[in-house]
């Protein structure tokens, strides 16, 4: 019954969209990759970037750390998991740009630990949509998990939560536009592939978890801007912005390959009851290339110092 109610809710929200919603569907533009793409992303290392985080939660700003780990991986198109054998030359092997994005911050006495993983095909001319997105959130009240799997023209959404109204869910939502969570990987692949204008966007899973909102496609105004300087960099850089009715997300990135993400700002009403308009902000600390999966000894904590991250 809960699944039926949730499905009806999603359909009703979609039905309420303006009649020109299909005109706002995000166009998946094809952009040629830079000539040094393979040398950077297929060198057997991941790129790790640390950020100083100021996270809006419960009507206040909380300091913390964010990390983005970008790496290419062989991915099973049918099973939608990383292939054990990277030498698999079957049609099932799709090379993806994987992003593991983490946030850690304290709210009063208890900590938050959040993680989002996005799997976007490198050959987005052949596979224009992310294959999978997973997001988890842990804090002392409990933990939640959400997963999106691409299934032809739909995404299968499964959600598990300690909140009665949110879990457990297993529903289909239409692939009707851009996933906000794919923007980060699209910037790294080639930001010229990002759409502009009024488009339908599925809000980021971090936002959906923190604000407890239903997964549907509101429209947003997407724009790109070139600036000479900002608090994120003294060098010229670009900004990609999504303006929703009640929220705004701006991502700052370098204009040249490898299109490093310098930081982001996200503004919306925060708190419960009497809310306040607050801005989450993350600013880049440092970036390194590393085969981090082999850096698991105590001496390797020095790499965290290089990234400006806590070693405790």
Q: What is the pLDDT along the chain (312 residues), one digit of tens a residue?
A: 334 333 433 333 333 333 333 445 666 666 677 779 999 999 999 999 999 999 999 999 999 999 999 999 999 999 999 998 877 778 889 999 999 999 999 999 999 999 999 999 999 889 999 999 999 999 999 999 999 999 988 999 999 998 887 778 899 999 988 999 999 999 999 999 999 999 999 999 999 888 877 777 778 999 999 999 999 999 999 999 999 999 999 999 999 999 999 999 999 988 777 788 999 999 999 999 999 999 999 999 999 999 999 987
Q: Which two tokens stand for residue 25?
A: 């569907």
Confidence at residue 5, expressed as pLDDT on a 0 to 100 scale: 35
Give the residue carrying structure tokens 């596979």.
127
With contact defined as beta carbons under 8 Å apart, do 265 and 240 qualify? no
- Burial letters 64-89, b for 16+ CB under 10 A, else e: bbbbbbbbbbbbbbeebeebeeeeee
With contact defined as beta carbons under 8 Å apart, do 110 and 121 qualify? no
The span from the CA of 237 to the CA of 260, in Å, is: 10
Confidence at residue 176, expressed as pLDDT on a 0 to 100 scale: 84
Give the residue carrying structure tokens 């997300």.
249
With contact defined as beta carbons under 8 Å apart, do 56 and 39 qualify? no
CA of 218: how far to CAs of 17, 25, 69, 238, 250, in Å? 8, 11, 28, 24, 17
Entry pTM = 0.89
Helices within the chain (DSSP H only): 2-15, 37-41, 183-189, 205-211, 302-306
The span from the CA of 260 to the CA of 234, in Å, is: 14
User: How many other β-carbons are positioned within 10 Å of the β-carbon of residue 97?
Assistant: 23
Confidence at residue 271, expressed as pLDDT on a 0 to 100 scale: 78
Confidence at residue 214, expressed as pLDDT on a 0 to 100 scale: 74
């Amino acid at each position: 019954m809960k699944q039926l109610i949730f499905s009806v809710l999603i359909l009703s929200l979609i039905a309420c969209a303006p009649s020109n919603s299909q005109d706002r569907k995000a166009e998946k533009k094809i952009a040629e990759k830079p000539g040094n793409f393979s040398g950077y992303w297929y060198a057997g290392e991941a790129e790790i970037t640390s950020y100083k985080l100021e996270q809006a939660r419960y009507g206040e700003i909380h300091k913390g750390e964010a990390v983005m780990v970008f790496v290419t991986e062989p991915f099973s198109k049918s099973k939608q998991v990383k292939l054990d054998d990277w030498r698999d030359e079957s049609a099932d092997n799709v090379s993806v740009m994987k992003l593991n994005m983490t946030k850690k911050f304290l709210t009063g006495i208890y900590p938050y630990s959040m993680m989002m993983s996005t799997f976007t095909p490198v050959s987005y001319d052949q596979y224009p949509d992310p294959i999978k997105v997973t997001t988890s959130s842990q804090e002392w009240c409990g933990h939640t998990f959400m997963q999106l799997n691409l299934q032809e023209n739909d995404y299968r959404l499964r959600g598990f939560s300690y909140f009665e109204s949110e879990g457990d869910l297993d529903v289909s939502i239409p692939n009707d536009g851009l996933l906000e969570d794919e923007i980060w990987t699209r910037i790294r692949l080639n930001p010229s592939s990002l759409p502009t204008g009024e488009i339908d966007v599925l809000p980021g899973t971090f936002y959906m978890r923190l604000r407890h909102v239903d997964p549907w496609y509101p429209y947003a105004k997407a724009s790109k801007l070139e600036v000479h300087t900002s608090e994120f960099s003294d060098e010229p850089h670009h900004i990609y912005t999504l303006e929703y009715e009640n929220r705004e997300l701006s991502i700052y990135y370098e204009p040249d390959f490898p299109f490093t993400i310098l930081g982001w700002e996200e503004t919306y009403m925060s708190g419960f009851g009497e809310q306040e308009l607050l801005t989450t902000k993350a600013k880049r600390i440092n970036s390194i290339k590393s085969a981090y999966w082999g850096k698991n000894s105590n001496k390797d904590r020095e790499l965290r110092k290089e990234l400006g991250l806590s070693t405790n």
